[in-house]
Amino acid sequence: MVGLQLIDLLIADNRFDKVIVFGRRSTGRQDAKLNEHMINFDEPAEWESLVHGDILFSSLGTTLKQAGGQKAQYRIDHTYQYTFAKTAAQNGIGTYVLVSSAGANPGAAFFYPRMKGELERDIKKLPFASTNIIQPGLLVGERKEERLGEKLGFKILTALNAAGIFKSYRPVHGRIVAQAMINAGIVATPGTHTFKLNQVFELAASNSHG
């Protein structure tokens, strides 16, 4: 959800001359400044020499159901993203922006927030000049596939938010997260920075388009 929104915004943003996408399948987008590479993340030797640019935006992810189990989801959500980020750092890309998740914690009891927390922990060790981690709540917007659990979660969270509960986990549209990622990448403040939900909304609204 965030990835496609991000690509559309980057294409429309005149601050970016070229948008290079690495993914497991085509985005279906076509534009003069878009260059797509469909790659096998398990074979970095095939693509690591292609990883160059100024900013790496990382939004790769899947669900437990789609992946077929925790081990497969961990490989996609953690290992693939970490390996790609490590390659980018080695190739001299200076700014990194990751979309993670609210509640990410390497010490979490539950699998998903623990996986996201371990990815954040490992990414922070890489030598980027500017590392930016976006932690949205439940993502809403258009997806290629239906996710009944997310629909139910959205309804429950909306009701709880209306009662003033779980505000830090309130739903956020994928386009807002994508714009926050772009703005964080443009500013590229030195060091490591984590943007929690309220900050994600603020970041998306700041200097939203060049």
Give, for all 210 residues of the chain, the pLDDT tens digit. Answer: 899 999 999 999 999 999 999 999 999 999 999 999 999 999 999 999 999 999 999 999 999 999 999 999 999 999 999 999 999 999 999 999 999 999 999 999 999 999 999 999 999 999 999 999 999 988 886 544 444 444 444 344 444 444 454 455 577 889 999 999 999 999 999 999 999 988 999 999 986 554
> What domains are there in the chain, each with its CATH number?
2-205 (3.40.50.720)
Residue 61: other Cβ atoms inside 10 A:
21
Tell me how far apart the 2 most distant CA atoms of the chain are, in Å. Answer: 52
- Torsion sign across C-alpha atoms 81, 39, 204, 157: negative
Dihedrals phi, psi of 189, to nearest 5 degrees: -65, 130
CB contact at 8 A, 34 and 11: yes
Q: How far is CA 178 from CA 38, 64, 200, in A?
A: 21, 23, 10
- Torsion sign across C-alpha atoms 40, 46, 50, 51: positive
> pTM to 2 decimals?
0.86
Residues 77 and 79: their CA atoms lie apart, in Å, by 6
User: Helix-strand-coil percent breakdown of the chain, rounded to 5?
Assistant: 45, 15, 40
